């Protein structure tokens, strides 16, 4: 029996000691691809998926929908967010970089969800670079349009050619979460 993408992601997260999540364009509230309710359902699924693991979330989206989820604000950095004055963006970015440093020599699962090329310098390229040099890392790239991985990651990368929001919201509905 073939695994669903959700099951593959779940298994990789279970093996990890740390989880780094990158949220991209497929999660934009104004993208017209998904309603806010569907996005919040996907965030709820993500929260359940990474529950119990030390995590950090980087979002390149300008909306603040992620802050309406159950994910802990302290472990989210949103460098392009608008109207979220209580989050000191430079301070959160430094917290993220310090957190990432602490993952060295530990099993790190990087879950890249719907990240394209609107701001590749924030998530896409840094995640690829981290995967290339962090030998205990695993990069899972989920994207409906740009799912490809660079060759230098080798067998430490998994690409899933599907919409990230759809995978999360649908599997939360069908399984009740894992």
CB 115 within 8 A of CB 25: yes
| 36 has a pLDDT exceeding 80 | yes
Instruction: Give me the pLDDT at residue 2, please.
Output: 64
Task: Identify the domain containing residue 154 by its residue range.
Answer: 5-175
Give the predicted TM-score (pTM) of the model.
0.92
Q: Quick one: angle between helices 164-175 and 36-50, nearest 10?
A: 70
Number of structural domains in the chain: 1
Query: What distance in Å separates the CA atoms of residue 50 and residue 89, rounded to the nearest whole number?
Result: 23
Angle at 89 between CA 50 and CA 126, to 5 degrees: 60
The DSSP bridge partners found for residue 59 are 23
Instruction: Give me the pLDDT at residue 76, please.
Output: 95
Residues 58-76 have a mean pLDDT of 93
CATH number assigned to the domain comprising residue 109: 3.40.50.1220
């Amino acid at each position: 029996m073939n695994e669903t993408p959700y099951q593959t992601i779940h298994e990789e997260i279970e093996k990890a000691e740390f989880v780094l999540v990158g949220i991209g364009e497929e999660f934009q509230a104004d993208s017209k691809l998904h309603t806010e309710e569907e996005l919040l359902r996907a965030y709820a699924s993500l929260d359940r998926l990474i529950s119990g693991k030390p995590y950090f979330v980087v979002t390149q989206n300008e909306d603040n929908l992620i802050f309406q989820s159950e994910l802990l604000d302290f472990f989210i950095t949103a460098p392009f967010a608008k109207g979220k004055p209580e989050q000191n963006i430079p301070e959160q970015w430094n917290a993220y970089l310090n957190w990432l440093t602490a993952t060295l020599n530990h099993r790190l699962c990087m879950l890249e969800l719907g990240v394209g090329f609107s701001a590749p310098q924030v998530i896409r390229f840094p995640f690829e670079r981290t995967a290339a040099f962090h030998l205990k890392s695993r990069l899972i790239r989920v994207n409906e349009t740009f799912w490809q991985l660079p060759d230098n990651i080798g067998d430490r990368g998994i690409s899933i050619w599907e919409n990230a929001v759809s995978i999360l919201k649908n599997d939360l509905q069908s399984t009740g979460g894992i």
